[in-house]
Amino acid sequence: MMASAALFTVALFSLGGPAYAYPWMIAHDYTGCAQCHVDPSGAGLLTDYGRALGMQLLPTGGGEASGETPGPEKDFLRGAIDLPSWLLMQADVRSLGYPMPTTDAAGDITGWSGRFILMQSDLRSGFKAGDFVGAASLGVVSDGASAAWISSSDSGWNLVAREYWAGWRPSKALLVRAGRMNLPFGVRTEEHTQYVRAITRTSTNADQQGGVAVAVQRKGLRAEILGIAGNPQVSPDAFRERGYAGFASWAPKKNIEVGLSSLITTAEADIGTLAPRTRQAHGPFVRWSPLDGVAVLAEADLLRSADDGLTSTGAASLAEVDWELINGVHVRGIGQHCDTDLGDAEAGVATAWLAGQWFIVPRVDLRVDVLHGTLQCAPGLDPSWYALGQLHFYL
Amino acid sequence: MPPFFAAALALGTAWASPSYPAVLQDTAGMSCTPSCIVCHATAAGGAGTASQPFVGALFARGLVGGGADETLVSALGQLDADAVDTDGDGQTDLDALAAGADPNGGADLCGAGALTGPTYGCLQAAPSPTAPVLALGALLLTLTRRRRPLSARR
């Protein structure tokens, strides 16, 4: 097999849990996120209701018609620890094994070896005491997520703290938070490699920023704005971005939500270019369930960058259709496009993506993805084939 | 030769080779840990951005991404044996690196005005995978040992 051909490999497995957001839950009439997540804009630590729903609604054999109310088995470590009612805990573990090609001097593939990556092993906790609430996570990764490191090992194995914040509810509809938290922007999804998440640096993997946020939830309205004070885990200070990120959305019906996002940050030195940089991203998003079991997610962001005096205007977009074939079995088609500079001669990049996800039993899901395109929004890259398989669980 | 050997990705993480700068420093005898820019288009590195001419020469000699340190060491050895001079300035890539120069012909990698990327983390810890795994395990064990007997829970 010549290495000049597009490379196609299969990632074997990963273990993990729903420290994630499932925006396709709008197909089950969930337009908001705060019912299931402590973070009012979704992702991360689950509420008691979210844990129950994860048992009842997601897996094959569950479903809205099951009528069974989960017992203590929905709780942290299946109820092995008798937690006080004000304390929430969750353990997320995710790992990945995949074959790695070995090549000869000519670049031809001569064999394969297996590799293993621990992507996530987070212990999450949160509290609810009167009008006060908070959440934090501490975990270990073997690779990546450097922006969330709290240790600094070149081996790649590091402690990570993705989020830690405390908040106060002055009213039922308002939450004011301070700490390191996810950026409120666009469709809150776990797929941090999607262009709209990566290029805007708004993924839930490691892009969290320190700051103060105000979230509002009232009937069909959701909104949150974060005043960004910078990522405390990056240094020196020149690399810390300051600015804001926010969104506002409205769900006129249970099956549709439309929103607008906006982000402006500036840093003395950008972590990517090392030059002074101001980044902007603005655009609409929509979540819509046109049919039972079908969710359509879309986002389009206009990108503006002023990088050491050079300005550029780009765009990133996402369209995703999730179809729950039978209870717990999802098929997903994703298309995305990104161009960091619409004014230059370089064409943008695009990816077509097909995924299947099976929530086999409570807390466990298997996912297989096949995609053709590029891993990053970097115009000029040649597209390739990629494939991966994941197995997630949480406790 | 494939442009990238980023063969698989996970939804939770993209390919990363965080150990490569240190391996490059050790193997090439550099006086500093080089910025990711020696191989990548951006200082932050990351999958799909390893597009500098120098890394192309390494790919041609067996380098793969994803933290396979041994392939970097091997490719650097082959690069030295082949006396590759990527930027054609008369100095081989390995000699350039040892002198703190950019084999792509860019700015100095180790001089006073060298571009250096950000550093991450706030603890100088985790010298090995054992420490963080043990720390998390100890925390879980502590929590588990607080479990009360069933009778007390009712």
Report yes or no: B114 at the A interface, CB cutoff 8 Å: no
- Domain assignment present for residue B11? The answer is no
CB under 8 Å, gap of 24 or more: what pairs does A356-360 form?
A: A356/A329, A356/A330, A356/A331, A356/A332, A357/A329, A357/A330, A357/A332, A358/A60, A358/A328, A358/A329, A358/A330, A359/A58, A359/A59, A359/A60, A359/A62, A359/A328, A359/A329, A359/A330, A360/A59, A360/A60, A360/A328
- Type of residue at B144: T
Instruction: Check: CB of residue A239 under 8 Å from CB of residue A269.
Output: yes
Best probe of the A interface among B78, B120, B130, by most A CBs < 10 A, is B120
- What pLDDT is attached to residue B106? 77
Half-sphere exposure of A200 (CA within 13 A, CB side): 36
Tokens found for residue A177: 């938070």
What size, in residues, is chain B? 154
A155 with B46: Cβ contact below 8 A: no
- What pLDDT is attached to residue A16? 30
- What pLDDT is attached to residue A97? 65
- Domain assignment present for residue B75? The answer is yes
Tokens found for residue A180: 């390191």
Quick one: which of B107, B22, B11, B7 has its CA closest to B59? B7
- Domain assignment present for residue B65? The answer is yes
Instruction: List the CATH code of the domain at A10-394.
Output: 2.40.160.10
Inter-chain contacts counted by CB atoms under 8 A, chains A and B: 239
- What pLDDT is attached to residue B56? 87
Quick one: which of B73, B89, B65 has its CA closest to B17? B65
Quick one: which of A19, A292, A313 has its CA closest to A145? A19
A156 with B18: Cβ contact below 8 A: yes
Mean pLDDT calculated for residue range B77-94: 91
- Domain assignment present for residue B93? The answer is yes
- pLDDT per position as a tens digit, B86-112: 988 999 999 999 988 889 887 788 876
Return the exposure string of A64-81: e unless at least 16 CB atoms fall within 10 Å of the residue's CB, then b.
eeeeeebeeebbbeeeeb
B132 with A149: Cβ contact below 8 A: no
Report yes or no: A236 at the B interface, CB cutoff 8 Å: yes
Instruction: Check: CB of residue B79 under 8 Å from CB of residue A105.
Output: no
Taking CA atoms, what residue in A is nearest to B145? A81
- What pLDDT is attached to residue A99? 64
Residue among A102, A143, A273 whose CB faces B16 most closely: A143
- What pLDDT is attached to residue A93? 81
Which is it for strands A242-253 and A221-230: parallel, antiparallel or unpaired?
Answer: antiparallel
- What pLDDT is attached to residue B153? 37
pLDDT along chain A (395 residues), means of 10: 34 36 90 92 91 88 65 84 91 74 66 73 93 95 87 83 96 95 94 91 94 94 96 91 97 96 94 85 98 96 87 96 95 96 88 93 86 83 78 82
Best probe of the A interface among B1, B13, B73, by most A CBs < 10 A, is B13
| B40/A42 Cα distance (integer angstroms) | 33
Half-sphere exposure of B62 (CA within 13 A, CB side): 19
Return the exposure string of A96-114: e unless at least 16 CB atoms fall within 10 Å of the residue's CB, then b.
bbbbbbbbeeebebeeeee
Report domain extents, chain A: 10-394
- What pLDDT is attached to residue A4? 35
Domain containing residue B95? 20-122
Give contacts of A 100-139 with B, CB under 8 A.
100-107, 115, 117, 119-121, 123, 138-139
- pLDDT per position as a tens digit, B38-49: 888 766 666 667
Which is it for strands A109-129 and A132-141: parallel, antiparallel or unpaired?
Answer: antiparallel
B12 with A120: Cβ contact below 8 A: yes
Which is it for strands A10-11 and A384-394: parallel, antiparallel or unpaired?
Answer: parallel
**3-class DSSP assignment, residue B13:** strand
Residue A253 bridge partners (DSSP):
A256
The H-or-E segment that residue B119 falls in is strand B119-120
Contacts of B147 in chain A (CB under 8 A): 80-82
Residue B140 clears pLDDT 50, i.e. is over it: yes
**How buried is residue B154: exposed, middle or buried, by Cβ count under 10 Å (0-12/13-18/19+)?**
exposed
Residue among B68, B115, B127 whose CB faces A153 most closely: B127
Which is it for strands B119-120 and A364-373: parallel, antiparallel or unpaired?
Answer: unpaired
| A225/A245 Cα distance (integer angstroms) | 6
**Residue B38: DSSP 8-state:** G
Report yes or no: B3 at the A interface, CB cutoff 8 Å: yes
Cα B82 to the center of its chain, rounded Å: 23
Q: What is the ipTM of this complex?
A: 0.79
**Cβ contacts of B66 within 8 Å, gap of 6 or more:** A100, A115, A143, B5, B6, B7, B15, B16, B17
- Domain assignment present for residue B127? The answer is no
Cα A153 to the center of its chain, rounded Å: 24
Largest CA distance in chain A: 66
B62 with A388: Cβ contact below 8 A: no
Residue A136 bridge partners (DSSP):
A125, A164
**Residue B10: DSSP 8-state:** B
Instruction: Check: CB of residue B98 under 8 Å from CB of residue B79.
Output: no
Q: Total domain count for chain B?
A: 1
Cα A391 to the center of its chain, rounded Å: 16
Shortest Cα–Cα distance, A118 to chain B (Å): 10
Shortest Cα–Cα distance, B142 to chain A (Å): 11
Residue among B13, B120, B146 whose CB faces A119 most closely: B13
**3-class DSSP assignment, residue B128:** coil
